[in-house]
Structure 1
Amino acid sequence: MDWDKLRIFHAVSEAGSFTHAGEKLNLSQSAISRQISALEESIGTPLFHRHARGLILTEQGDVLYKTVNEVFHKLTMVQARLSESKDRPSGPLKVTTTIAFGSTWLTSCIKEFIELYPEVDVSLYLSDQELDLGMREADVAIRMTPPKQPDLIQRPLLTVRSKIYASMEYLSQYGEPKAPEDLDNHKLIVFGSDTPHPVTTINWILNEGATPENPRRPVLQVNNIYGIYRAVRSGLGLGAISEFMIPDDANLIHVLPELEGPPHYAYFVYPEEMRHSKRIAVFRDFLLRKVAEGQF
């Protein structure tokens, strides 16, 4: 099979139309159509169902697409390996992590990494939805739970601990709790009950010192941990916040210091096939050093 035609076939399969594929490849719609027709003629079977709203792969087309897509994926990996054959790591590095971790700890120290490795093109994708590393939606993930996908390398990065914080403004108005049961009389900000919890024990603040006869009603539920942090800083109430999210200038007070939420790990995760990547190795070692220095 002609490689140029397969390259065009792959682009059309991804785009779902000759027009969109032509825009991506900088070719005319008619040129794209001629190449696909020639490919279909050479293998003796139609690859697309053509209809008014676009193109749908035939059964034979789907088989070919899966094979071609796998080849493209492997070529991308080879290209990355070749680009890292120099002494210094270089090339793109897409990192995904949660909004809370990325917006606070990671973005606060990424400047140093970029200065150390200017030839590595870092991009951060912050989302509480997990990207598929196996499909190269990202190169590296920092996750608050162990990965479920197969063929991923994982290693604990740091132990995440949450403690109860409040703003000076809130404490001056409502006073400081002195015992766990005092939380019954305070405004509590927690993770939303209608949202899948990133950690099963995330709302432990509702249970410390509480009794089943007098369940606590939070003043606010937020479906994002960073949102909890911002609400606490605004003076709305008390919240259980991970230590890594508290910068020196946050003006938040650690209350009830004897209390601490159940610890869990944050994991550094990347695909098995990227285990020899210099970019990933230096980024992993940089983060481990920052954790060892207490930069969290």
Structure 2
Amino acid sequence: MSYNPPSMKSLIAFEATARQGSMTAAADEGCTSQPTISQRIRALEENLGLPLFDRRGGRLVLTVQGESFYREISPSLKTIREACERLIQHGDRPAPSVVIAAGSGFMHLWLLPRLPMLKRAFPELTFKLMPIDRADAPELQAADIAIRFGPYMPQDEGRLLASEAVFPVCSPDYAGEHGVKGELTASDLARVSLLHQDIKDPRWLDWTQWCRHAGLSLTPREDIFAYQNYALLLNAALTHQGVALGWSILVEDYLASGQLVALSPRVTREDYGYWLSVKHHRSAVIEPISDWLLDVVQP
């Protein structure tokens, strides 16, 4: 004659009741009702053919057989429960995705090189990077983390990631060939090739504006070629084609590696820089990432 083992639900109800000391506590733990727990234990006792609890006197006490049965099944049920929890936590569910939006220059020159380090710091997350250059772009507002360049804007509640500092940069070969080092003068600017970007965004300095802040005069030129984005312009500087304006956070890696050299003067504008803002404040997922970014920029 075959034996039909008891249901898992009845075993869980019995184990929780024996461990917690009451059916009410077992019901709370299992997000069910006390009558349901009672029914499942009754079904288990009928299946086994003996009582597991002594219910006389209004108290719920394990019988000798119930105590022995509890000691035998409790470790196995605990192992099953923990295995299920681990699978749920580390299983094949899609990892939470975090959207980070920033200007294309910052994205390609600073964030992308540090993406492997970011992934190692938060292996349980996936990251979607969005290069957004328009300050009023809706995608910037919708991102979990937005990194915006420009002046301080109180309504953004942003934290300063890096202050603006702008200075000329060029390759060491170009500097040596053209005899430029240290502080550039107006005569230096007149004889070197100045690399320009096709930019109509008032947040960014061009050579005319930079010279005005630096107290230098700039002779107008007719033969100006404007690069479409900052990454292309910086690549021209790296390949010895001229002198570019460098924003400190965007060129720091090239300066550290010796691929570019920094010239002067250095121009700063009050309250200008890269600002980090988040869509959801005090988020348990986003806040540690924001802190990580700040720590990496400001070690």
Q: TM-score, normalised by structure 2?
A: 0.57
Out of 230, 233, 246, which is 1:228 matched to?
A: 233
SS in 1 for 2:266: coil
- Pick closer, same or farther for the CA change 1:205–1:154 going to 2, 3 Å: closer
Alignment of 1:129-278 (within 5 A): 129-130=134-135, 131-132=137-138, 136=142, 138-146=143-151, 152-176=156-180, 179-181=184-186, 182-192=188-198, 195-200=200-205, 203-207=208-212, 208=214, 210-211=216-217, 214-216=219-221, 219-246=224-251, 247=253, 248-249=256-257, 251-256=259-264, 259-263=265-269, 264-271=272-279, 274-278=280-284
Out of 97, 119, 122, which is 2:124 matched to?
A: 119
SS in 2 for 1:145: strand
Alpha-carbon separation, structure 1, partners of 2:151 and 2:139: 14
Aligned to 1:286: 292
Is the strand fraction higher in 1 or 2? 1
CA offset digits 1:122-164 (Å, max 9, x no partner)? 111113134425873x2211010258796x4322111121221
CA offset digits 1:153-199 (Å, max 9, x no partner)? 32211112122111123223322155421211111012325x22432
Aligned to 2:105: 100
Alpha-carbon separation, structure 2, partners of 1:191 and 1:98: 15
SS in 2 for 1:122: strand
Q: Kindly tell me the number of residue pairs found equivalent between the two proteins.
A: 197
Contact kept, 8 Å, 1:144 with 1:267, in 2: the verdict is yes
- Pick closer, same or farther for the CA change 1:202–1:279 going to 2, 3 Å: farther
Unaligned stretches of 5+ residues in structure 1: 1-85
Aligned to 2:75: none
SS in 2 for 1:237: coil
CA offset digits 1:44-99 (Å, max 9, x no partner)? xxxxxxxxxxxxxxxxxxxxxxxxxxxxxxxxxxxxxxxxxx9xxx6110101111
What is the identity, as a one-letter code, of the residue corresponding to 1:166? C
Contact kept, 8 Å, 2:102 with 2:146, in 1: the verdict is yes
What is the identity, as a one-letter code, of the residue corresponding to 1:185? R
What is the identity, as a one-letter code, of the residue corresponding to 1:275? H
Alpha-carbon separation, structure 2, partners of 1:103 and 1:116: 20
- Per-residue deviation at 1:219? 4.2
Q: TM-score, normalised by structure 1?
A: 0.58
Contact kept, 8 Å, 1:233 with 1:250, in 2: the verdict is no
Q: How large is the RMSD of aligned CA atoms in angstroms?
A: 2.9
What is the identity, as a one-letter code, of the residue corresponding to 1:164? P
Aligned to 1:44: none
SS in 1 for 2:195: strand
Unaligned stretches of 5+ residues in structure 2: 1-88, 90-94
Alpha-carbon separation, structure 1, partners of 2:295 and 2:232: 28
% of aligned pairs identical? 17
